Amino acid sequence: EAAFDEAVAEDGTVTRDAFLQAVAARNATRGALPAGTIFTDAAFPPNSASLGVNSDDVKWVRACEVFNGAPLLPSQLSHSSVMQGERNDCFYVAAMSLLASRGSLVNSRGDPLVRPGRTEGEFVATLVSASGETIEVTIDDMLPVSMVTGDPLYARARNGDALCFSLLEKALAKRFGSFAALDGGNTSEALWDFTGLPVEDVKLDGLAGEACAKLVRGYLDAGELIGCGHIDTARRGEYAANASGVRSNHAYAVVGASAKEVSVYNPMGIDDGFTGKADGGGTLQMPWSVFAKSFSRLQVCLLSSRTSAPHVSTWPQLAWKESSAGGCTANASFRRNPMLRLGKFESATRLALAVVVGTPDRRGVSQGPLSYPQLGLTAIRLRQGAVYPMITPENYDVVGKTSAFWNKREVATSLELDVGSKGGGEILLVPSTFHPGEASPFWLSLRSSLPLPRPEWVQLAGSFETASWRGGTKKNRLNLTLQTEGKAEAASGASATAGSFFVFLRQCQADRQPLGLHILSADRTALVQKASFVKAAEISVEVKLADGPLLLCPCCLQDVQEADLEVEVLAPPGCKLTLSAAEAKASTLETAHGLLASAAPAFVATAAGSKMKKGSSKSGSGKAKSTAARGSLSGPPAFGGASMQAASKSTQGLAGMYAGMDM
């Protein structure tokens, strides 16, 4: 506040430069080095280790000497104020160009991205960590310069009239271990590092010029920043130009648009052989038809989320373990992923969300080309009558998701959800990798238009007692005796009540059969719960806890049908489960018919399923085995090991629903 007061001009205004100078002057009076001392960063010295390569044609020079005493910031910022150097740092330069196009270099909170430190030659950059936390990086002003051209190897101000761009990129180099670690990357990751705001990747494949114009102009009208590029993963590291002179695998920045054409900035700062209209300094103007042919992807930084979704929640230390990394919805193991409950809203309303899911940065760590697990996020709404953990396809609808599963450090999506409506099912956010079994730490940052009531992470591990069995049902003569002992305890995420257990039936054969579950009393005199039949890779059923044993009778719709099954039972903590198998004398369907015909005690109908499509999965052994164990991240053997590995092709596109075919 004191620095702000000192920077006030006669007309009552405060410029950014005046404020930063006042901050630097006040910092110089406390904790600074002795007068005349120039700061040297011993943690990131001017040597080959900091450069990341051995080079005889590189020297280190102070920024004030490289740029002849230029100030930290130029007198006026624009998209063309910055240009890349001799290395492959186009993605960071494109991100800096987009920020500069708005007239400032600040993060989502309005903090300057780079400012003077307490001593001459000392500067402090404000960046965002890979888990969404703000970090400060202190650097000196020594820059690697080509001994041949005298130019900085990395980002620089176009006219040499500012230090900010070169110093900001040096801070990134220090953060990631070396300048070489900045060789190649994604504009969306760069925008996150600078702003801490969600950046959505948008595919343009197949869009015509008119559709591209509508899409891009809509984002610009909303105030978003837009990067673009033609991504060719098959030719990674190649930068061939198309007929218009636009290079593949090179970052560009969208800096303006009209109904007829779009302006795109090339971070190289030159026209680079572009065949259309250009200004000679890298700003290219092209019709929308050329744009649609030249670019395959947008990176959209959601600046508008600062005001449309101001409430921020971050979970920096989460993990997919081998058995809890369930993969996407195409896998039967999807239900094993950690899931975020948004909480219960008291009244019906519309909720806007901007969600980012990320993994630890691998720059300077991974060998070879930079690569990450394919990340994505799926938002699901449970159907009426379903509760967690009944995350099988007949029990939920997908209400939002990322545009794809991306091989990137982080992915983002924006969602509009109806919440709090009477009878509306619970919504869960499910971050996941595309393939199951890919263990990795991850984090999630969420911006929302309203405060979340009581967000809570849930997963199967530690919330349930489990028992499992693997085998086949032949002519519907399979009986599983479930014995429960002990008193159930309320468990977070287990159910709306601790008085239920859950049965999961998974078909292992490729030929899916309509499958259901009858539940009988142990003496076979009463039908406790009648089956509804669903044709799907896996179904789930909620059953009320009862005193004494019950018979679980998984069965196909007809006696002639057979299924190779994995059966898993989840119960609240405190319940000891024992699951044993036996072949009945008569089929389950015959038994159910007989009980109904003799006016047996009323049954409790299970929740109906919904439309599913045919799928496939790898078949397993039909040999029966019985296990009982406490729920854990490793899971029971039948579900946590081979099934996780075999699940990657299990449930995509299931069709033909048989719910309601009650026997």
Count CA atoms within 13 Å of residue 521 on its CB side.
Answer: 11
Active-site annotation holder among 79, 88, 90, 331: 90
The answer, yes or no, to whether residue 31 has pLDDT greater than 80, is: no
CATH of the domain at 414: 2.60.120.380
Please tell me the predicted confidence (pLDDT) of residue 39: 94
Do 343 and 482 belong to one domain?
Answer: no
Structure letter (DSSP) for residue 116: E
C-alpha 202/C-alpha 215 separation (Å) is: 10
C-alpha 239/C-alpha 248 separation (Å) is: 5
Please tell me the predicted confidence (pLDDT) of residue 27: 54
Do 435 and 577 belong to one domain?
Answer: no
The answer, yes or no, to whether residue 205 has pLDDT greater than 90, is: no
Active-site annotation holder among 230, 250, 435, 518: 250
Please tell me the predicted confidence (pLDDT) of residue 620: 32
Instruction: Report yes or no on 103 lying in a domain.
Output: yes
Distance of CA 78 to the CA centre of its chain: 32
pLDDT over 70, % of the chain? 81
Q: pLDDT by residue (tens digit) across 628-647?
A: 332 222 333 333 333 434 33
Higher pLDDT, residue 26 or 163: 163
Closest CA to 252 of 286, 218, 217: 286
Do 80 and 96 belong to one domain?
Answer: yes
Annotated catalytic, 593? Answer: no
C-alpha 133/C-alpha 255 separation (Å) is: 28
Instruction: Report yes or no on 486 lying in a domain.
Output: yes
Instruction: Report yes or no on 662 lying in a domain.
Output: no
Higher pLDDT, residue 643 or 385: 385
Structure letter (DSSP) for residue 424: P
Closest CA to 452 of 313, 302, 308: 313
Amino acid residing at 236: R
* pLDDT-derived band at 35, boundaries 50, 70, 90: low
Contact criterion met (CB below 8 Å) for 111 and 168: no
The answer, yes or no, to whether residue 41 has pLDDT greater than 90, is: yes
Q: pLDDT by residue (tens digit) across 77-115?
A: 999 999 998 888 999 999 999 999 999 999 988 899 999
Contact criterion met (CB below 8 Å) for 45 and 25: no
Instruction: Report yes or no on 655 lying in a domain.
Output: no
Instruction: Report yes or no on 142 lying in a domain.
Output: yes
Q: Of 277, 301, 325, which residue sits at a domain end? A: 301
Considering only CA atoms, give the Rg of the chain: 30
Q: Of 160, 195, 230, which residue sits at a domain end? A: 195
Structure letter (DSSP) for residue 148: T
Instruction: Report yes or no on 400 lying in a domain.
Output: yes
Annotated catalytic, 518? Answer: no
Do 54 and 157 belong to one domain?
Answer: yes
Domain that includes residue 17, residue range:
1-30
* pLDDT-derived band at 23, boundaries 50, 70, 90: low
Token pair listed for 416: 């509009």
Q: What is the mean pLDDT of the chain?
A: 84
Do 522 and 625 belong to one domain?
Answer: yes
Instruction: Report yes or no on 174 lying in a domain.
Output: yes
Do 314 and 398 belong to one domain?
Answer: yes
Do 206 and 190 belong to one domain?
Answer: no
* pLDDT-derived band at 11, boundaries 50, 70, 90: low
Active-site annotation holder among 107, 186, 266, 331: 266
C-alpha 349/C-alpha 416 separation (Å) is: 10
What contacts 497, CB < 8 A, 6 or more positions away? none
Amino acid residing at 280: G
Q: Indicate the number of domains in the chain.
A: 5
Give me the mean pLDDT over the 607-617 stretch: 35
What contacts 315, CB < 8 A, 6 or more positions away? 340, 443, 444, 445, 457
Give me the mean pLDDT over the 383-412 stretch: 94
Do 427 and 477 belong to one domain?
Answer: no
Closest CA to 386 of 396, 373, 376: 396
- pTM passes above 0.85: no
Instruction: Report yes or no on 600 lying in a domain.
Output: yes
Q: Of 301, 329, 344, which residue sits at a domain end? A: 301
**CB crowding 240-277: b at 16 or more within 10 Å, else e:** ebeebbbbbbbbbbbbebeeebbbbbbbbbebbebeee
Annotated catalytic, 476? Answer: no
Do 601 and 504 belong to one domain?
Answer: yes
The dihedral formed by the CA atoms of 15, 21, 24 and 28, expressed in degrees to the nearest 10: -140
Do 57 and 5 belong to one domain?
Answer: no
Do 419 and 489 belong to one domain?
Answer: no
Do 369 and 509 belong to one domain?
Answer: no
CATH of the domain at 249: 3.90.70.10
